Structure 1
């Protein structure tokens, strides 16, 4: 747990680990090496759950923000101004994790830190809020609940719980390059409880292209080394994953024929075409066409048009059940 700043305030209980499934994998090995940056005596616990892959992601839902946990604060000589509302946010950078040294201690939300729950620490995102974190090296994604402050190091942007880092595949390395995307209220009803479930047939991965903001200087205060953003300016999400497509704020219904579902955004036309072929091959029941729209240096796959927002939402739900893809509504 990075340096505490806002006064602890009682909040909702953090999500607990699910019991091991009958087909649980072998108990994860305990990582003992310090390469990767364990802070002091931090590291994994001696008795982790038998099947951490079975621990569900955090399930996004509307929660009141904690005033005391979202006040401006100072840590290690740096002033941070947390966001006062959940809003679009996307940033690419390096994630770390924190473990046994902080397990059971109060987080900035006032809840005890549970290294086996799906939580995270962030310098400025609202507490509590939810983010999707994607490991850009292997395209694995998890959804975590932000309930703590930190990290406070210029080379890190988020500190994940031990389990979240395990599921993203970087526990032994200590850190990984990730994309962090906020989950806004309008998309919560379209987010699956677990983003780690895979489609029956692997889809080609869109290329993540969002650029990181320059980070302020700082020093790690807990967990594995950690980062700071430069301000509370928030860039809009710009990259999409095929198994974890972020939903967007839904505008009011527009004129007939202008409603589409966005299936993904890609850096190259080849990636867009490949993913389009995957979707069409898996969802042979689709009656709407899938087209590629270029703009803002990305190729966006749009399904439609639909006659109403309700019709589009119904199709989006069927797609989510069929291939675990979460499209979102767009107006053209």
Structure 2
């Protein structure tokens, strides 16, 4: 079956995204003659008919999983272009456009061999091993979410990840159809006794950027921005000090320089500063806990 995924003419195992340019929110037709397009009962993708409340849906917890038997060939081809699967997900970071997919593909097999569930926090990626866990951050609103990558796509060159409908809703990009995001792979949480120096960078990125509602006995911070250029991080640090009187620190991991404000004694204090920054015209910072 893995050989099947490598062939252009028989790429049904490459998942929902392999047969569609993107969700209907992009305004583009989805059945354009690509291999496998005719296996779906719907002509265009849509949000679910049953809009479930996903506000309390827990994020997937990264864990060590064996590679899927399907969807992990060294290379595969779609629409005449060959893609290479990365040998490892560790340290992967990218920024670009995200899209989403939903009702049309719900219940159909993904590239990993699992059924696609639009109500779960999953995603499709062209080159990450399946499965992989990644934190996706909406660069326009600061919302962040852990997703489990279990499918292939999107095959638009201007997009780097395809999110499930639920993930798109949580990140605030459902209505627009696409959004600017940062994708950072993360690994399973290390054992409590593991020395910090022994924790892989990708794992530390996950620990550095957990979801809100952290325990009250931990040190709480706000992340004002993350930059590949340290000079840009230093400019952000100076701006925060000059315009808002906020002290900050730069935490650098894997060539990414994060500007952190804090620590705060409790989440209420942190949220007040977060709102003050938004009121002052700054992009709303992301709650983080080391």
Asked if these proteins are the same fold (TM beyond 0.5), I'd say: yes
In structure 2, relative to structure 1, the CA distance for the partners of 1:153 and 1:57 (3 Å cut) is same
Which residue among 54, 65, 73 is the counterpart of 2:56?
Answer: 54
Q: Partners in 1 of 2:88 and 2:135 — Cα distance? A: 17
Give the Å deviation of 1:197: 2.4
Give the Å deviation of 1:191: 4.5
In structure 2, relative to structure 1, the CA distance for the partners of 1:300 and 1:275 (3 Å cut) is farther
**2:288 alignment partner in structure 1:** 325
In structure 2, relative to structure 1, the CA distance for the partners of 1:81 and 1:138 (3 Å cut) is same
**2:87 alignment partner in structure 1:** 84
SS of aligned partner of 2:55: helix
**1:111 alignment partner in structure 2:** 114
Q: Does 1:268 align with 2:236?
A: yes
Give the Å deviation of 1:102: 0.4
**1:284 alignment partner in structure 2:** none
RMSD: 4.1
SS of aligned partner of 2:71: helix
Note the alpha carbon deviations across 1:192-236, whole angstroms, 9 max, x for none: 7x9442579x9665234459xxxxxxxxxxxxxxxxxxxxxxxxx
Give the Å deviation of 1:326: 3.8
Q: Does 1:36 align with 2:26?
A: yes
**1:66 alignment partner in structure 2:** 68
Give the Å deviation of 1:52: 1.2
In structure 2, relative to structure 1, the CA distance for the partners of 1:120 and 1:144 (3 Å cut) is same
Q: Partners in 1 of 2:258 and 2:70 — Cα distance? A: 42
TM-score, with structure 1 as normaliser: 0.55
Q: Partners in 1 of 2:132 and 2:50 — Cα distance? A: 29
In structure 2, relative to structure 1, the CA distance for the partners of 1:319 and 1:130 (3 Å cut) is farther
Q: Partners in 1 of 2:66 and 2:137 — Cα distance? A: 26
SS of aligned partner of 2:94: strand
Give the Å deviation of 1:129: 0.6
Note the alpha carbon deviations across 1:92-113, whole angstroms, 9 max, x for none: 1000000011000000111000
In structure 2, relative to structure 1, the CA distance for the partners of 1:208 and 1:190 (3 Å cut) is closer
In structure 2, relative to structure 1, the CA distance for the partners of 1:139 and 1:271 (3 Å cut) is farther
Q: Partners in 2 of 1:64 and 1:168 — Cα distance? A: 28
Q: Partners in 2 of 1:5 and 1:170 — Cα distance? A: 30
Structure with the higher helix share, 1 or 2: 2
Give the Å deviation of 1:190: 8.3
Which residue among 182, 187, 193 is the counterpart of 1:184?
Answer: 187
Q: How does 1:275-286 map to 2 (within 5 A)?
A: 277=247
Unaligned 5+ segments in structure 2 are: 14-22, 31-42, 189-199, 271-286
Query: Does the CA-based 8 Å contact 1:96-1:176 persist in structure 2?
Result: yes
In structure 2, relative to structure 1, the CA distance for the partners of 1:299 and 1:101 (3 Å cut) is closer
Note the alpha carbon deviations across 1:22-45, whole angstroms, 9 max, x for none: xxxxxxxxxxx9553364420111
Q: How many residue pairs get matched?
A: 220
**1:261 alignment partner in structure 2:** none
In structure 2, relative to structure 1, the CA distance for the partners of 1:294 and 1:182 (3 Å cut) is closer
